[in-house]
Amino acid sequence: MAAAEGAASVPGDYNRAMYDLLETVNDPADLRRLDRRQLRQLADELRAFVLESVSKTGGHLSSNLGTVELTIALHYVFDTPEDRIVWDVGHQTYPHKILTGRRARMATLRQLGGISGFPRRSESPYDTFGTAHSSTSISAALGMAVAAKLKGERRRCIAVIGDGAMTAGMAYEAMNNAGAMDVDLLVILNDNEMSISPPVGALTNYLARLLSGRMYTSAKRASEHLLKRVPGMLELARRAEEHMKGMVTPGTLFEELGFNYIGPIDGHDLDALIPTLANIRKLPGRQFLHVVTRKGHGYKLAEEDPIAYHGPSRFDPAVGLRQAPAGRPTYSQVFGDWLCDMARLDSRLVAITPAMREGSGMVRFSEEFPDRYFDVAIAEQHAVTFAAGLACEGLKPVVAIYSTFLQRGYDQLIHDVAIQNLPVLFALDRAGLVGGDGQTHNGTFDFAYLRTVPNLVVMAPADENECRRMLYTGFSLDGPAAVRYPRGTGPGVPIEPEMRALAIGKGEIRRRGAGVAILAFGSMLKPALEAAESLGATVANMRFVKPLDTDLVAELARTHELLVTVEEHQVMGGAGSAVCEALAALGIEKRVLLLGLPDRFIEHGDPAKLLASVGLDAHGIAAAVRAAVARPKHPKDIMAA
């Protein structure tokens, strides 16, 4: 038998569950053969398995514990994978992965060569759409629904979207578009920001079953047919129905967008979920089901602190997360400390985040300067233009955003900030390879998409102290600037408390050598210096991708036989490309070796192992340089590795 629900909820009282029923479910067809009375036990076992699995590998926990019953109900009612389920963001799909044939591979979750922490089409036919960024599910499911109609195929298309993802404009763009189409589409709002409050109980569960039932919908269609004959009566009846629904449900907005709103219902009550979904499956048109769940459900520590257990590393479920010993500060902490220090010095500073307060290191700032802190929710486009509006009125906005998420606000960066040359500082966290989150979260394109934008200064720190100095440098400018820094800790350089700006567009020589000059950008300085010891090479810390230090490039080209650029960024369009452009503009012919990330998406896994696999550790850099030196020499050689 499975462990009873809540058996793993108290530290010191955790016992490994038995998975007698779960081990019989290798795909949703097995699940659908179970008696409904067995599903409660399956949910208990599945929740215990998720907890045990994540405790060993690390990964997303709170969100997955909250979707156990919803996942079971969806695969029990719908004919997956023929019926399409699109999971928004996808960090709540571990129960889905376990029930769709990947239970044994959960031990490899987010590890090199293992399964992804997000849905991937190449991984399973049950992963109907690859997701990891927010608010794409409704658009994708709508596309699938339209395709099914055009091809004459009868299938249901379901988008499962969280309340956080519903804050993004793209979700409403999709719903607005769907409202004008005659398609069968189900949108499930997984509302997990509130606990199961009294309104989400027996009455609302009953109403959801009633509103999704065939008798209600048949009566509604018949009354609409009759009322059409009486001018004005159909509209009056529609408004009366909306008013009555609005008294017990919050669905008026979704009704106005053209969806039939049902709910809210308890997302942990299988006896409410399954009959409601079964009823909805029979309904034509656009349906919207509001499900209320609780993050961390079933594990008390995660319920009490879902943020801390959002994405934990390995831990003992019987003990819970332990306070990590103080060590080197992460780049996010360096940014957060600088932000507070700078805010005390300049009252014009305001800080903006698109729902990434904890990840971006802004918790202390939000507590010390609440009136100058703005979390705009998952709305990257709005965040950038909001910052532009603040800058127009004399404030100094700092937008803290992950490199991969700024891609979603690129037009606003150009149109609203750069063209108007507004003083907005972009603090780009998670630049380069990020580890377990993999290809969807790697920040490997920012050099390329930023350095092409006029008026924008682009900086890449090599260590913690340089990061602080660059943040101050960018903040001091009268135009836009970006500082991109990696996830995790730096090399351990002591941080100077005073604010000191860098000379714009100026790098520095960090090691003198002969024959080979390595031009290192950002995080690659440390392995470049290590490689240079065995090569006898010169190493330059370039600091700026834009404006590039062309004087330093020209000097190194004149005094060395081979230039080597190294960056934790794609080679195509990156900092090495900028160096080649500068040499061409200067009319200098020189052998250049470009080292960086290859033209492919890099998998999830340990960042150090990933960097080594693409030759961006000290050993790989030295080997690539030796191979280049050994090749026949031609002054116009440009080599990429």
Span between the terminal Cα atoms of the chain, in Å: 55
Task: Considering only the C-alpha atoms of the chain, give the largest distance between any 2 of them, rounded to a whole number of Å.
Answer: 92
Burial (CB count <10 Å: 0-12, 13-18, 19+), residue 611: buried
512 part of the active site: no
Asked whether the beta carbons of 388 and 417 are under 8 A apart, the reply is yes
CA atoms within 13 A on the CB side of 441: 25
Residue spans of beta strands (DSSP E) within 168-229: 185-191
- Cβ density class 356-380: b for 16+ within 10 Å, e for less: bbebbbbeebbeebeebbbbbbbbb
Rounded-to-integer distance, Cα 445 and Cα 460, Å: 13
Catalytic residue among 295, 396, 430, 590: 295
Rounded-to-integer distance, Cα 472 and Cα 489, Å: 20
Catalytic residue among 408, 487, 511, 590: 408
Q: How crowded is residue 343: how many other Cβ atoms within 10 Å of its Cβ?
A: 20
Asked whether the beta carbons of 77 and 276 are under 8 A apart, the reply is no
Token pair for 77: 């009612």
Q: What 8-state DSSP symbol labels residue 489? A: B
393 part of the active site: no
What are the two backbone dihedrals, phi and then psi, of residue 360, each rounded to the nearest 5 degrees? -90, 0
256 part of the active site: no
Amino acid code (one letter) for 250: P
From 433, 431, 527, 441, select the one nearest 482 (Cα to Cα).
431
From 557, 560, 609, select the one nearest 579 (Cα to Cα).
557
With a CB cutoff of 8 Å and minimum separation 6, the contacts of 166 are: 135, 189
Asked whether the beta carbons of 378 and 409 are under 8 A apart, the reply is no
Using only the alpha carbons of the chain, give its radius of gyration: 28
Handedness of CA 441, 444, 450, 452 (dihedral sign): negative
Which residues participate in catalysis according to the annotation? 295, 380, 408
